Amino acid sequence: MDVDSGPSLMAACYGAGALSSLLLARWSGRFALAVGHLAALAGAVAGVGVSLGVLLGVPGRTLTQPLPVFFPFARLSLSVDGLSAYFLFVISLVAIAAAIYGPAYLRAHSPDAGSARQAAQGFALNVFLGCMAFVCCAGDALTFLFCWEGMTLASYVLVVSDDRDGENARAGLLYMVMAHGGTALLLVAFLALAERSGAFDFAALRMAAGDLDPATRTTLFFLALGGFAVKAGVVPLHVWLPRAHPAAPSHVSALMSGVMLKVAIYGILRFAFDLLAPVAGPLPFSWGWTVLFVGTTSAVLGVLYALQQHDLKRLLAFHSVENIGIILIGVGLAMILWRQEGADGALATLALTAALLHTVNHAAFKGLLFLGAGSVLCRTHVRDMEKLGGLARRMPWTAGLFLLGAIAISALPPLNGFVSEWLTFQALLGGASRFHGPAGLVVVFSAAMLALTGGLAAACFAKAFGVTFLGRPRTSHAEHATEAPPSMIAGMMWLGALCVALGVAPGYAVRLLDAPTAGLLQGPGASAVVTARGPLVLSTALTPTGTAISMTMVAGLLIALAAIAWVLRRGLQPDKWRVVPTWTCGMKPTARFDYTATAFAKPLRLVFAALYHPRREVTRETAGTPYVVQRIHYAGEIVDLAETQIYHRVTREISAFSQAIRARSTGRIYGYIGFVLGALFVALLLFGVRHP
C-alpha cells in the first residue's frame, strides 16, 4: 500500500474507533471498549507504517495532503516531513501498547463502570490518539491548533473519567486552566505570524518569519516556548502534571507522560528550528541558553521531588518532568552549538540526536512503568507504596517488567536510557570544549547536574521498586494481589522489548533520526555522526581520537559473564539450600521491619532539606508515664518550591486584589456605570495620545 494514503487510513481508524465506541455502547459497553481499542490499535499500526515510510523513504521527502475546505479563508493541509514522521512514530509505538493494554485494564480496574463511561473512554481515547498524531502531521497553524485543543480536551475527559472522590475533578480543572493558559500563548505566537503572512500554512508562516526583526522573532519564540513548556511540564509550569497524569486510567497516563509531553517538544523543535529560524540559519544564543537552563532545572528538580513521592503514579509523573528536562538539555545544546559551529557542525547534530533518541527512549520506559503501575493498581486498588510490598512473589511478570523499566529510566547500561544519556554527555563534553570561559563552565555544570539526576533516579527507583514489589506485603490489598491478565502483560512486554532493543542495538534507531536531524539543521544526518562505524557501534568522531562504544558488545559480555557467574553462584554444594525466616534480632519478623518509602528517602530528604523544607510532626500517646508509649503518630510533608514560592504567592496577591476591589463595589448600578465610564475615558485618553 502507498504511504500517501496512510494519513487517511489513520484518520479513518481513529474516527471509526471513536464513533463505534459511542454507537456500540448502547448494546454492550464491554464490546464497545474492545472495538474502540482495536480501532486505536489499527490506527497506531498505520501510524508506524506512515512514519517508517517517510523516515526510510526518499531522503528529504515531505508527504503533503490537502484537507477538505472547512473555512473559506484558509487552506488546510497535512504535511509529514522527517520531524513529523519521527514524532508520529514515537506516538504510535506507545499507542500500540496502550491499545493492547487498555480494555483488560479498564475491565479489571472498574468492573462496575456503566456503559456511558465506557463509551466516553473509548471515544476520548481515539480522539486523543488521533489528535496527537495529527498535531505532528499538521501542515498549517489552524490544523495544528485544532488538534492541539482536541488533544487537551480528550485527555481532560480521560483524566476525569474514573472519578471516585472529586480529587480527579480538581486535578482536571487545574489541568484545563494551565493548558489553556499555554494555548493562549501559542495562539498569540501563531496569529502574530499569520497576520504577517496572510495565510495559515506553515510555508507561508516560514516566509513571513524570514522578514522579522530579531526582537520580534525572539519575543515570538519565547511566547511559543512558554506555551509549549506548560504542556511539557517544565519547572515551574509543571504543577498540573503530577496531579493530572496519575488521575487518568493507567494506559492513558502512559500516553500522557510518554507521548503527549513529546508533542510539546515537537512544537518547540518545529517552532524554533523550522518556522522561526532566521533564513541565514543559526538561532540567537538567548534561545539555546534559556532552553538549556530550563532543561537542567527541570531535570534536577523533577527527580528531587519524585524522590519524596509515595504515590507510585505521582512519582512516575515527576520523573516525566525530569526526563523532559533531559530532552530539553539536548535541544538547548543543539541550538547553541548550531549557532556556534554553523550548519555543517557535527556537534549540533549529536546534541539533537541525543534529544530525539531520549524522546523515544523515555516514551518506551515511561510507558512501561506506567503500565506496570497500572497492573499494580488494578489488582490492589492502592497507589500508595507504603501500603504495598511483596508483590514480586504475587505478580512476577509485572515485577520483572517494572524492574526492566526502572533500570532503563535510571540510565543504567545495557538498556536504552543509558544510550541517550551517553549521547547527551558526549554532546555536553564536546560543547564544553568549544566554549571558552563562563559559557563552557555553564555547559559543564549542566553535565554535572545531569550526572546527579541519573544517580538520584537510580535511588528513586531502588525505592519505588523495592518498597512496592519486595519484602513483605504491608496490607491485605497487597497480600491478595494476583498477576495481571495476559493482554496487559503483552502490552508491557512490547514496551519492554523496545527498551531492550533500543539499548542493545541503538544504531538502528539512529538511522530513523537521519531525516529529522538533517532536515532541521541542514547538516549531516544523525547516522553520519553517531553510527559512522556501523549500526552496532556508537561513536563520536568529533576529534581525531573520538570515542566509540558498542552496547551490543557490552550486553554480550554481560550475558557471558552472567552465565559464568551463575556456575559460580551454584557453588560446590548446590543442593544445600535452606529457606528460613529473615533474621530480625530474635523477634518475630513482621512487615513492620521492612524499610518504608519515607524511611528510604529520609537521608536524601535531609541532604536536600533546603529544597524540600520538610516538616514533620510526631505525637506520642503515653499511658500516664512517658516511658510507656502506646501509640506514635507521625506526619511528614515536603513542599514543592514552585507551588509555595510562585503559585501560592500569586493566589494570595490575586485574592488580596479581589478583596481590595470588593471593598469598592457598592452593589449599586450607578457605581458600576461610573467604573465603565472611567475605564472608557482612560482608554480614549491612552489611544488618543498614541494615534493623534
Q: What residues numbered 496-535 form the site for another protein, per CB under 8 A? A: 533
Distances (CA, A) of 678 to 659, 683, 690: 20, 9, 19
The set of cell numbers assigned to 259 is: 507521548
Nearest CB to another protein, comparing residues 289 and 435: 435
- Binding status of residue 325 toward another protein by CB under 8 A: no
- Binding status of residue 305 toward another protein by CB under 8 A: no
| 193/206 Cα distance (integer angstroms) | 9
- Binding status of residue 547 toward another protein by CB under 8 A: yes
Interacting stretch for another protein, rule CB under 8 A, among 220-228, 444-452, 518-526, 663-671?
Answer: 444-452
Distances (CA, A) of 253 to 137, 196, 235, 246, 368: 23, 39, 19, 6, 11
Q: Checking phi first, is residue 389 left (phi over 0); if not, alpha (psi -120 to 50) or beta?
A: left
Beta-carbon neighbour count of residue 163 at 10 Å? 15
- Binding status of residue 340 toward another protein by CB under 8 A: no
**CB distance 390 to 397 below 8 Å:** no
- Binding status of residue 297 toward another protein by CB under 8 A: no
**Beta carbon of residue 466, minimum distance to another protein (angstroms, whole number):** 3
Q: Among 161, 308, 380, 426, which residue sits at the site for another protein (rule: CB under 8 A)?
A: 426
**CB distance 527 to 510 below 8 Å:** yes
Which 232-291 residues touch another protein, going by CB under 8 A?
none
**Beta carbon of residue 321, minimum distance to another protein (angstroms, whole number):** 17
- Binding status of residue 482 toward another protein by CB under 8 A: no
- Binding status of residue 571 toward another protein by CB under 8 A: yes
Q: Among 214, 278, 396, 671, which residue sits at the site for another protein (rule: CB under 8 A)?
A: 396
- Binding status of residue 466 toward another protein by CB under 8 A: yes
Strand 63-66 to strand 77-80: parallel, antiparallel, or no bridges (unpaired)? antiparallel
**Beta carbon of residue 388, minimum distance to another protein (angstroms, whole number):** 13
Q: Among 128, 271, 600, 612, which residue sits at the site for another protein (rule: CB under 8 A)?
A: 600
Interacting stretch for another protein, rule CB under 8 A, among 163-171, 252-260, 453-461, 610-618?
Answer: 453-461
DSSP 80: E
**Beta carbon of residue 347, minimum distance to another protein (angstroms, whole number):** 12
Please name which of 109, 124, 364 lies closest in space to residue 249, comparing C-alpha atoms.
Answer: 109
Q: Among 38, 52, 591, 641, which residue sits at the site for another protein (rule: CB under 8 A)?
A: 591
b or e along 138-150 (b: 16 or more beta carbons within 10 Å of the residue's beta carbon)? bbbbbbbbbbbbb
- Identity of residue 398: T
Q: Among 19, 602, 642, 646, which residue sits at the site for another protein (rule: CB under 8 A)?
A: 602
Interacting stretch for another protein, rule CB under 8 A, among 61-69, 464-472, 508-516, 680-688?
Answer: 464-472
Nearest CB to another protein, comparing residues 185 and 470: 470
**CB distance 427 to 350 below 8 Å:** yes
| 266/386 Cα distance (integer angstroms) | 37
Q: Among 22, 549, 611, 642, which residue sits at the site for another protein (rule: CB under 8 A)?
A: 549
**CB distance 547 to 539 below 8 Å:** yes
**Beta carbon of residue 549, minimum distance to another protein (angstroms, whole number):** 5
Query: Which residue(s) pair with 201 in the sheet?
Result: 140
H/E stretch holding 174 reads helix 167-197
Q: Checking phi first, is residue 202 left (phi over 0); if not, alpha (psi -120 to 50) or beta?
A: alpha
| 618/606 Cα distance (integer angstroms) | 17
| 555/553 Cα distance (integer angstroms) | 5
- Binding status of residue 435 toward another protein by CB under 8 A: yes
Q: Among 603, 671, 674, 678, which residue sits at the site for another protein (rule: CB under 8 A)?
A: 603
Q: Among 542, 612, 638, 640, which residue sits at the site for another protein (rule: CB under 8 A)?
A: 542
- Binding status of residue 630 toward another protein by CB under 8 A: no
Contacts of 89 (CB under 8 A, 6+ apart): 47, 48, 51, 52, 55, 360, 512
Q: Among 151, 209, 347, 447, which residue sits at the site for another protein (rule: CB under 8 A)?
A: 447
Q: Among 58, 72, 165, 573, which residue sits at the site for another protein (rule: CB under 8 A)?
A: 573
Nearest CB to another protein, comparing residues 77 and 298: 298
Query: Which residue(s) pair with 548 in the sheet?
Result: 539
**CB distance 29 to 120 below 8 Å:** no
Interacting stretch for another protein, rule CB under 8 A, among 164-172, 194-202, 235-243, 417-425?
Answer: 417-425
Nearest CB to another protein, comparing residues 40 and 428: 428
- Binding status of residue 310 toward another protein by CB under 8 A: no
- Binding status of residue 128 toward another protein by CB under 8 A: no
- Binding status of residue 445 toward another protein by CB under 8 A: yes
Q: Among 29, 43, 102, 454, which residue sits at the site for another protein (rule: CB under 8 A)?
A: 454
Q: Among 164, 436, 588, 633, which residue sits at the site for another protein (rule: CB under 8 A)?
A: 436
**CB distance 415 to 626 below 8 Å:** no
Interacting stretch for another protein, rule CB under 8 A, among 100-108, 490-498, 587-595, 619-627?
Answer: 587-595
- Binding status of residue 31 toward another protein by CB under 8 A: no
Q: Among 279, 580, 628, 669, which residue sits at the site for another protein (rule: CB under 8 A)?
A: 580
| 136/81 Cα distance (integer angstroms) | 9
**Beta carbon of residue 325, minimum distance to another protein (angstroms, whole number):** 15
DSSP 581: P
Q: Among 67, 74, 604, 639, which residue sits at the site for another protein (rule: CB under 8 A)?
A: 604
Q: Among 381, 480, 570, 613, which residue sits at the site for another protein (rule: CB under 8 A)?
A: 570
Computed from CA positions of residues 43, 48, 51, 53, in that sequence, does the dihedral angle turn out positive or negative? negative
Please name which of 76, 74, 72, 50 lies closest in space to residue 63, comparing C-alpha atoms.
Answer: 50
Nearest CB to another protein, comparing residues 57 and 546: 546
Computed from CA positions of residues 316, 317, 322, 328, in that sequence, does the dihedral angle turn out positive or negative? positive
Q: Among 146, 289, 397, 595, which residue sits at the site for another protein (rule: CB under 8 A)?
A: 595
- Residue 524: is the preceding peptide bond cis (ω within 30°)? no
Question: Applying CB under 8 A, what is the total number of residues that bind another protein?
Answer: 98
Interacting stretch for another protein, rule CB under 8 A, among 126-134, 259-267, 448-456, 633-641?
Answer: 448-456
- Binding status of residue 465 toward another protein by CB under 8 A: yes
Q: Among 143, 361, 398, 410, which residue sits at the site for another protein (rule: CB under 8 A)?
A: 410
| 399/373 Cα distance (integer angstroms) | 10
The set of cell numbers assigned to 532 is: 559512522
Please name which of 453, 410, 426 lies closest in space to residue 299, comparing C-alpha atoms.
Answer: 453
